[in-house]
Structure 1
Amino acid sequence: MVGIDVKRIGDALVIHWQMSKIEIPLSEIKEVFYDNTYAGEGKDAVRIGTPYGTTDRVVISTHNRPYVLFTTNGVNLLNRINSYIEETNN
């Protein structure tokens, strides 16, 4: 598997990266947005992926903590996560 893989399984957003699997209940997600800082927002954020200077940073803000996804396909990832959230709300 290359890069970050994001899927919706049931009512959860499931993120796979290397040997890690992170499940975030869709109901816990407050917002999803781009972060232009190098290290990502917040010291308590869970960082997923490899940060490079040109890497996109997509932040998933939840009720518990933020998650920063370092990826080369930020637009696709952001749109996919937002579509999962919209499907849940409809």
Structure 2
Amino acid sequence: MLGIDVKKQNEKLIITWQLTKIEIPIDDIQDVLFDDTYGGEEKSAIRIGTPYATTDRVIIKTISKTYILFTTNGHSILNKIKSYLK
């Protein structure tokens, strides 16, 4: 697996990248959107992936944390996560 992968399993969003695996309860997700800043606006956010000038930044805001996904297929990941929230 080269990039970030997201999937839904047992009402959780599972994010995997390299040796990292993060599980977020679907009910905790409040918003999913793009961020056009280089490193993300929220300084305490959990960053997943490698930030480059050409990568997309997908923000996942939950009840208690914010995650920034640095990826080259941002639209695909954003749409996939939003489909899980319905």
What is the TM-score of this pair, normalised by structure 1?
0.94
Post-superposition offset of 1:41: 2.5
| Gapped regions of structure 2 (runs ≥ 5) | none
Matches within 5 A, 1:44-55: 44-55=44-55
Aligned to 2:23: 23
Q: Which amino acid aligns with 1:57?
A: R
Q: Which amino acid aligns with 2:75?
A: V
Q: CA separation in 2, counterparts of 1:9 and 1:41? A: 29
Give 4+ residue runs of structure 1 displaced > 2 Å after superposition. Answer: none
| Gapped regions of structure 1 (runs ≥ 5) | none
Aligned to 2:10: 10
Q: Which amino acid aligns with 2:5?
A: D
- The C-alpha deviation readout for 1:17-40, integer Å capped at 9, x for no partner, is 000000000000000000000001
What is the TM-score of this pair, normalised by structure 2?
0.98
Higher helix share goes to which structure? 1
Length, aligned pairs only: 86
